[in-house]
Amino acid sequence: MLYSIYRKSEKLILVKMRWYTFLLISILTTRSISAEIYPKFPKDFIFGVSTSAYQIEGAWNVSGKSENIWDHVTHNYPSVIEDRSNADVACDAYHNIDNDVRLIRELGVDSYRFSISWSRILPDGFSNNLNPDGVRYYNELIDKLLANNIQPFITLFHGDLPNCLQLLGGFTNIKVADYFVSYARLMFDTFGDRVKYWTTFNEPKNFCARAVWGNSEQLTVAENISPYLCVYTVLIAHAKAYEVYKNEFAHQNGKLGIVLDLLWAEPKTNSTKDIEAANRIIEFEFGIYANPIFSKEGDFPTIVKDRVANMSKAQGFEESRLPALTKDEINLIRSSADFLAINHYSTRLISDDSDNINISISSQANDVAVISSVDPSWPTSEMEWLFYVPWGFHKNLMYIKNKYDNPSVYITENGFCEKASNDQGRIKYLQGYLQVLSDAISEGCNILGYFQWSLMDNFEWFAGYTKKFGLYEVNFTDPKRPRKPRASVKWYKDFLLNAKSNV
């Protein structure tokens, strides 16, 4: 009996201890998790997920859609794609509106960023032939998003130029700016009664680097000039589209911006040369678009103008390979945005390479003359250029605040590349990057929204389907393209439930 009483009280103590220990552990862990995982955000901050038309829609030639440059390249030159694939079907988002809107709603986001396929809406590239099925498709998507309380956030151009316009020289042809403006006007007119967030171009740096791509055995044609002609066309097209929006559609009360990407450039050493080199690559890749639109004085950054002019002269060109903006153009482009949208993924170390310039090569890379590297201690992803460096994101945000007088900013892409379903790398990345985003807001940066890239795995351009950026995993061998949540879906949901209640 004694023995059993003893055993009983021992058991009780044990049970009590377990209960207290459990309580203690849960208090400790909840505290540390919530402090670590759920940084604070303002109440009206917009959270979302991001995709783009060519990467997810599929239905490449359905109901009147014409060929775009990526259809053309993947069909005719499959060897340039890592797994020789194409996005003919991709995630088949075209046939999955209901399901995808449900996934987006279940995440608990406020907004969905997607792009419109120009060649689905205007198969000839020009505004005289509007494809009714294209209008039907985006109307259906927009209406279903709104019915679920999700704001559409639309990009007009995410890399997929109608191939017929590429045959006219694509963005190296300044007339394409006018065709873009006609397309933009039509989109404001058709969808603008319901869409309040517009961006013109996604990452011009990237598509301008291969402005001659689409038609395409000649991947290197006019490589020395075409990126700069493309920069010029993009800026004029963007500014004219902004003008159209403000003059003709102001009553729609929407906002329009442009999406620029910036891998943070950190000087490799403290030497003046490396510091200047890091600044130089930021100006060539980012300032070349941001300065004309967001600086007080407008125009291209002086360092870019001077450097290309000097190099061009030394190379025997009659004028700079970078077109000069006229006074009227500078005025047209300056302040032509309600916000700056930023895609940010990672950071690199920059050192100066000016001593090795080969003057006989006239290329943008030679104009910039830097060497890019990474720190071997940075955690890697499955994408060769993507490393986990949250402090670089912080520097990037502070740079924009200080350089461009604290503009309104939306982060339209940020995300990690990892295959595994329990994607701990992606979760860690989101934790780290959202924390510094929250810090930057507390330090006065005027950041209004954040979109994770991407809702689901998709066609990752030259990497085909080999690289996975999705919160949802997509089975690309199943004709139905089922989506399966990775662990980060739960993480992002929990984060969203808590993020705004913390203020």
Cα gap 343→334, rounded to integer Å: 21
Could you give the count of Cα atoms lying within 13 Å of 392 in the half-sphere of its Cβ?
A: 25
Q: Of 283 and 413, which has the nearer Cβ to ligand BGC?
A: 413
Measuring CA to CA, how many Å separate 432 from each of 44, 89, 131, 193? Answer: 22, 34, 44, 37
Q: How far is the CB of 202 from ligand BGC (least distance, A)?
A: 5
Could you give the count of Cα atoms lying within 13 Å of 2 in the half-sphere of its Cβ?
A: 0
Total Cβ atoms within 10 A of residue 469: 27
- Return the residues of window 193-222 that contact ligand BGC according to CB under 6 A: 202-203
Residue burial 26-58, b: 16+ Cβ < 10 Å; e: rest? eeeeeeeeeeebbbbbeeebbbbbbbbbbbbbb
Cα gap 78→358, rounded to integer Å: 33
H/E stretch holding 290: helix 288-294
In DSSP terms, 484 is beta-bridged to: 473
Write down the catalytic residue from 67, 413, 460, 473.
413
> Pick from 212, 216, 217, 231: which is nearest to 321 by CA?
231
Q: Of 38 and 451, which has the nearer Cβ to ligand BGC?
A: 451
Instruction: Mark residues 293-332: x for contact with ligand BGC by CB under 6 A, - for none.
Output: ----------------------------------------
Q: How far is the CB of 203 from ligand BGC (least distance, A)?
A: 5
Q: How far is the CB of 452 from ligand BGC (least distance, A)?
A: 12
Write down the catalytic residue from 203, 283, 285, 418.
203
Q: How far is the CB of 50 from ligand BGC (least distance, A)?
A: 8
- Return the residues of window 396-415 that contact ligand BGC according to CB under 6 A: 413
Q: Of 183 and 453, which has the nearer Cβ to ligand BGC?
A: 453
Whether 413 is catalytic:
yes
Q: How far is the CB of 458 from ligand BGC (least distance, A)?
A: 7
Cα gap 229→233, rounded to integer Å: 6
Q: Which of 38, 39, 41, 52 binds ligand BGC (CB under 6 A)?
A: 52
DSSP characters for 111-142?
EEEEE--HHHH-TTSSTTS--HHHHHHHHHHH
Q: Of 274 and 460, which has the nearer Cβ to ligand BGC?
A: 460
Question: Are 208 and 293 a contacting pair, CB within 8 Å?
Answer: no
Q: Of 81 and 322, which has the nearer Cβ to ligand BGC?
A: 81
Q: Beta strand pairing status for 483-485 and 472-474?
A: antiparallel
Cα gap 77→216, rounded to integer Å: 8
- Return the residues of window 88-107 that contact ligand BGC according to CB under 6 A: none
Measuring CA to CA, how many Å separate 370 from each of 236, 273, 300, 353? Answer: 28, 10, 19, 5
Question: Residue 277 is encoded by which pair of tokens?
Answer: 């080199």
Q: Of 192 and 204, which has the nearer Cβ to ligand BGC?
A: 204
Q: How far is the CB of 329 from ligand BGC (least distance, A)?
A: 27
- Return the residues of window 454-473 that contact ligand BGC according to CB under 6 A: 460, 469
418 binds ligand BGC (CB under 6 A): no
Q: How far is the CB of 467 from ligand BGC (least distance, A)?
A: 7
Q: How far is the CB of 204 from ligand BGC (least distance, A)?
A: 11
Q: Of 343 and 452, which has the nearer Cβ to ligand BGC?
A: 343
Cα gap 31→120, rounded to integer Å: 50
> Chain centroid to CA 44: how far?
22
343 binds ligand BGC (CB under 6 A): yes
Cα gap 213→227, rounded to integer Å: 11
Cα gap 100→114, rounded to integer Å: 12
Q: Of 144 and 344, which has the nearer Cβ to ligand BGC?
A: 344
Total Cβ atoms within 10 A of residue 445: 19
Q: Of 41 and 198, which has the nearer Cβ to ligand BGC?
A: 198
453 binds ligand BGC (CB under 6 A): yes
- Return the residues of window 247-276 that contact ligand BGC according to CB under 6 A: 261
Question: Are 229 and 177 a contacting pair, CB within 8 Å?
Answer: no
85 binds ligand BGC (CB under 6 A): no
Place of tokens 């209960």: 19
Cα gap 264→278, rounded to integer Å: 9
Q: Of 190 and 454, which has the nearer Cβ to ligand BGC?
A: 454
151 binds ligand BGC (CB under 6 A): no
Which are the catalytic amino acids?
Answer: 203, 413
Task: List residues binding ligand BGC (CB under 6 A).
Answer: 52, 55, 202-203, 261, 343, 413, 453, 460, 469
